[in-house]
Amino acid sequence: MLRGGRAITMNGYEIIENSDIVVRNNRIEAIGSTGQVNIPDGAEIIDISGTTVMPGFVDVHYHTQWLITDIHINQVWQYLPNLAYGVTTTEDVQTSTTDILTYHDRVEAGEMIGPRIYHTGPGVFSAENVRNLDHARTVLRRYKDYYRLTSFKMYMSGNRQQRQWLIMAARELELMPTTEGGIDFKLNMTHAIDGYSGLEHSLPIAPLYSDVVNLFKTSQTTYTPTLLVSYGGPWAENYFYTRHSPLDDPKMLHFSPYEDLASKASRRGRNLGGWFRDEEHVFPKHAVFLKDLIAAGGRTGVGGHGQLHGIGFHWEMWAMQSGGMSEHDLLRVATIYGAEAIGFDNDIGTLAGGKLADIVVLERNPLGDIRNTNSVRYVMKNGRLYDGDTLDEIWPRQRALPSYYWQQQAPAVTNGVSDDDAITGANGRS
């Protein structure tokens, strides 16, 4: 049982100031105010007084990236920093290959540590050359019957008639279709009008006004802007790289290969976007639209795009909140709205009896400052509690996270050079 934390349950705007959360196996059995919840005999009580506890974060637009195609490794390193930073569920929208099927199964079977690995499989592109509604059914049965998915991604799959055939077939097969508009504003609008359940990547125009807000409110399309790779201006990730240093963050260094971090954070040259004055950045204008959309009853989700595994999801949240959205609304977007967007809200997204035990325990209150989302003390995924700094398992087992090959930052051999020579230099000079 987790006792004493301030619980932001995401059931509406409910907050339980001193909560008891009972977890049995991999689900939440009960949650309520301290003293109001029946404590099972023999329950282990973990005191989290003074913390804030909330559902695990849901990244609805995540790409693992930089996997080696057709070579299935024992542990995907990208999954570790995401879980350590509180992301307990991911949705990879357009996996390029079917390798993700293996990784999904291995995480589900407990053979690999990571968030829940949901995905759309490879995208449906124009090469499918959809000829009619029956052909669209044939294309999508691959996703329903072979990949056994609940969603797919359509990307530039032909003209509007072809895109509508795919939506019609998706409804028959009970698949949730998401899409993106290729930096074409008019195309994005037709996606919302035609009924796609999700729209990925930012609209290429900012600012936007009430007509677009009302369209997305009416269609209930979940708009996931991925502001780290903003359209219409410099990418938001460059804003954060030039103000934060993940290369100096011990937690990021612990979970990420040094070469990967250094390639992104040691310099930001022209090929990576470089440095921009604050007023050059477009993401705050996109974020104002997000605030207006949520206030009107529309839907949005948080998608880190896999740009920087770990802290990157938090950068995306902070960018989304920069337009004035309330902290509580942003946290709901990052949890229950994300769960609903990918069709798993019956199991994740809120703290409630019967839900899967995906929980984040924060040292500091994010309702006072959204930057406090990056203060993870513990993360629980599927009923297993991990230390937020190390991913050592605390409960129900006590087990240290194994050491992996990419954490060896220097060769273990000296090629015949003694330890003393290695320190001072073989020729005696330091």
Tens of pLDDT, residues 214-255: 999 999 999 999 999 999 999 999 999 999 989 999 999 999
Residue found by looking up tokens 């790779």 in the block = 229
pLDDT of residue 414: 54
Altogether, the residues listed in the chain come to a count of 430
**Cα–Cα distance list, 22 to 10, 29, 150 (Å):** 17, 5, 30
**In the chain, which stretches have pLDDT less than 50?**
411, 417-430
The helix/strand/coil state of 327 is: helix
The enclosing domain of 26 has a CATH number of 2.30.40.10
CB atoms within 10 A of CB 376: 22
Q: State whether 99 and 243 are in the same domain.
A: yes
Q: How many structural domains are present in the chain?
A: 2
Q: State whether 206 and 354 are in the same domain.
A: no
The enclosing domain of 228 has a CATH number of 3.20.20.140
Residue 248 lies in a domain: yes
Beta bridge partners of 155: 180
pLDDT of residue 188: 96
pTM summary value: 0.93
Residue 131 lies in a domain: no
Domain ends where: 300, 316, 348?
Answer: 348
Cα(326)–Cα(346) distance, integer angstroms: 25
Q: State whether 334 and 250 are in the same domain.
A: yes
User: Residue 228 carries which DSSP code?
Assistant: G
Q: State whether 107 and 256 are in the same domain.
A: yes
Domain ends where: 348, 371, 387?
Answer: 348
List b or e across 111-138, with b for residues whose CB sees 16 or more CB atoms inside 10 angstroms: ebbbbbbbbbbbbbeeebebeeeebbbe
Q: State whether 270 and 380 are in the same domain.
A: no
Q: Specify whether the CB–CB gap between 403 and 80 falls below 8 A.
A: no
Residue found by looking up tokens 């703290």 in the block = 351
User: Residue 350 carries which DSSP code?
Assistant: S
pLDDT of residue 427: 38
Question: How far from chain centre, in Å, is Cα 230?
Answer: 16
Residue 237 lies in a domain: yes
Q: State whether 101 and 218 are in the same domain.
A: yes
List b or e across 59-98, with b for residues whose CB sees 16 or more CB atoms inside 10 angstroms: bbbbbbeebeeeeeeebbbbbbbbbbbbbbbbbbbbbeee
Residue 95 lies in a domain: yes
Q: Where are the alpha helices (DSSP H) in 92-153?
A: 99-108, 133-141
Residue 298 lies in a domain: yes
Cα(319)–Cα(211) distance, integer angstroms: 23
Domain ends where: 307, 328, 348?
Answer: 348
Exposed / middle / buried, residue 372 (Cβ in 10 Å: 0-12, 13-18, 19+) = middle
Q: State whether 235 and 252 are in the same domain.
A: yes
Cα(142)–Cα(194) distance, integer angstroms: 23
Q: Specify whether the CB–CB gap between 176 and 198 falls below 8 A.
A: yes
Q: State whether 63 and 188 are in the same domain.
A: yes
Q: Specify whether the CB–CB gap between 112 and 79 falls below 8 A.
A: yes
Residue 129 lies in a domain: no
Q: State whether 244 and 354 are in the same domain.
A: no
Q: State whether 342 and 374 are in the same domain.
A: no
Domain that holds residue 8: 1-55+350-404
Residue 187 lies in a domain: yes
Q: State whether 62 and 193 are in the same domain.
A: yes
pLDDT of residue 68: 84
Q: State whether 244 and 280 are in the same domain.
A: yes
Give the model confidence (pLDDT) of 326-371 as tens digits. 999 999 999 999 999 999 999 999 999 999 999 999 999 999 999 9
Residue 141 lies in a domain: no
